[in-house]
Amino acid sequence: MMNRQKCLQFLHSQLKDEIVVATYSSASEWVEISNRALDYYSFGAMGLASSHALGLALAHPNRRVVVLDGDGSLLMNLGTLVTIAAARPKNLTHFVWHNGSYEANGGHPLPNPQTDFCTMARGAGLTNVQRVENFDTFQQQLGILLTSEGPVFAEMMIEQGPLGPRSYDEMYLQERRDKFRAALKG
């Protein structure tokens, strides 16, 4: 099992000009780590980070789009896997942080915490699918996950992160949204 924040810090250190779409718990940690103009926060619409990322990947085919999704969030919109598989964006990397809980809502367990998201992704038609279970493997594989022809799907086996009240104000700043729009145009 990995620590999501440690993984996100390493991911941040390896990024260049990728768009990063983050949601819920991943977003709470990402906003503390990153202040990139190309960070997009999908919040308040549980399960839609991958759909937002798909739209961005299709609209910007020359730029890698990285999704920081949660297992609970993906369960809210499993149909997105079928849509991503059909659209086949070559520039999409989908990380699903699997800790077996709806962490952002207090850590309530998923109906089946042992759900195999890799099997679901393959069943939906995705072919570049892998499970990452330890940080050393993540460090070794990250470059491949960020540059392989997509869509790339990675189920990240992590420990429970911090629970409790979260502030989302920082994600909703108008300045952040303006910087994102400008970065996409530039």
The domains of the chain are located at 4-174
Cα separation, 96 vs 170, in Å, equals 23
pLDDT value at residue 46: 79
Of 11, 182, 180, 37, the C-alpha closest to 93 is 11
DSSP state for residue 2 in the 8-state scheme: B
Residues 40, 56 contacting (CB under 8 angstroms): yes
CA end-to-end span of the chain: 39
pLDDT value at residue 173: 85
Q: Residue 91, CB half-sphere, CA atoms under 13 Å: how many?
A: 17
From 3.40.50.300, 3.40.50.970, 1.10.357.10, 3.30.1330.10, which CATH number describes the 4-174 domain?
Answer: 3.40.50.970
Cα separation, 4 vs 94, in Å, equals 15
pLDDT value at residue 66: 98
pLDDT value at residue 44: 73
pLDDT tens, the chain, 186 aa long: 999 999 999 999 999 999 999 988 888 899 999 999 999 998 777 789 999 999 999 999 999 999 999 999 999 999 999 999 999 999 999 999 999 888 777 777 888 888 999 999 999 999 999 999 999 999 999 999 999 999 999 999 999 877 666 667 777 788 999 999 999 998
